[in-house]
A = this chain, B = another copy of it.
C-alpha cells in the first residue's frame, strides 16, 4: 500500500509540477488513431471562438508566397463539442510522418495532449507517424524492434572557424562491439533555419539508417550531422544563458569562414576519432536546401574526397566563386567553374544524385543545373517527387540515397 502510495505520489508530482491547472488537458486523447485509418485531433478550450488544425496531413493548396512557389498549409476548422472540446477527424491517411499544430483564434498553439513534439529550427511542432506495414515510409521512420545505433552530441575543434563546435554523430549498431571494424562515413547536412539536430528529429536519420541496415538494404555506416551555420558553436539553445547578451553575441558572431572552407576540420575530427575507412569510395556527402548548396560546393572544392554526392532540393547554383549565385546561364562563361566541374566528374564519383519536388520554389534553379550537366554529359541520377520544399521529400531522398552508398 505504502509503496503504491509513494510511487503514485512521485509520478503525479513529476507530472503536476507546473501543471496543476492543466490535468484536464492530460485527459484528452489527441491525436487518436481510429480503426478506419483516420486520425482525430482534439483540443479543449471552452472560451475559444475559432480553433483550426494546421497539418501536412490535411488537404493543401499551393499558394504563391514572396519566395515563389512553396508549400503553404491551409488550416482546417475544428468543431466544438461538449465541454469545449474541439475536434477534427482526417481522411484515411497514407503512411508518413505528419506534422501539425493548432490555430486558436489566430494564434499558433501546440497539442500538449501529444507529448510527441520536436523543434525544427526555432519552430516547435507536434508530429505522429502512420505505418501500415513493414515496407512503407512510416516503418522506416519508426523505432522498430531492431538493433539501434548510438547518437552522440560531440564537440570538435574548427581552427578555420576559430571555434569548438558541436555536431551530431550516428554510429551504427555493433560499432561498440566490432572494435576491429572500420566504417564508411556519410556527411549529412541540414538546411537554412536548421542546425546539427535537424536530421535527427524531423529527418529521422537514425531510424532510417537503423532500419535500412537491419534489413540489409544499406551498409553499416557512420553518419555525421554538422551545424551548417558557421557563426554558431551549436544551435542557439546551446548559446550561453539567454540574459547575457555579451555571451549570446559570442555564439552568434560573424562567421570567420564558410561551411565549405571549414569542412576539412570536420573530416579531420571524424577520421581521427572514429574507426573510419578512408578514400572517396568510403565518403558520401548530401544535404537539403542550403545544405544541398554546401554539399555541391564542398564536393567541387575537394573533387577527390567524396565518391557519393547528393543534392536534396538544393540551393545550389553550381559555382563556388566569390559571387555565388549568378544565373546558371552565366556559368558556361565561368572558366574556373567549368574546370572545377571537369575535375569533379573526372574523378568519376560513383553517384551524383539530384532530388527535387515538382512544386519546390527551387525547382527552376535545379532544372537549370540539370541542363548544364546534360549539356556537359556529366552523369547523374535524378528523382522528382510531388510537393515542395518539405521534410517529407528529404526523408524520401535520404532513404533512397542511403541504399546506394558503399556497396561493394
Contact = CB atoms under 8 A, between A and B. Distances in A.
Which of A72, A105, A107, A326 has the most C-beta atoms of chain B within 10 angstroms of its own C-beta?
Answer: A107
Nearest to A101: B18
B152 A14 contact: no
Given A47-B105, A164-B148, A125 B14 contact: no
Q: State the majority secondary structure of interface residues on A.
A: mixed
Each complex incorporates copies of this chain amounting to 2
A244 B112 CA distance: 21
B67 A22 contact: no
A25 B193 contact: no
Given A14-B121, A191-B14, A237 B101 contact: no
A104 B45 contact: yes
Contact of A247 (B109, B145, B147): B145
A353 to B, nearest CB: 20
A236 interface: yes
Nearest to A49: B47
A33 B242 contact: yes
A99 B131 contact: no
A22 B107 contact: yes
Given A14-B192, A273-B176, A151 B153 contact: yes
Interface string A103-141: 111111110100111011111110011110000001101
Chain B CB count within 10 A is highest, among A120, A147, A149, A244, for: A244
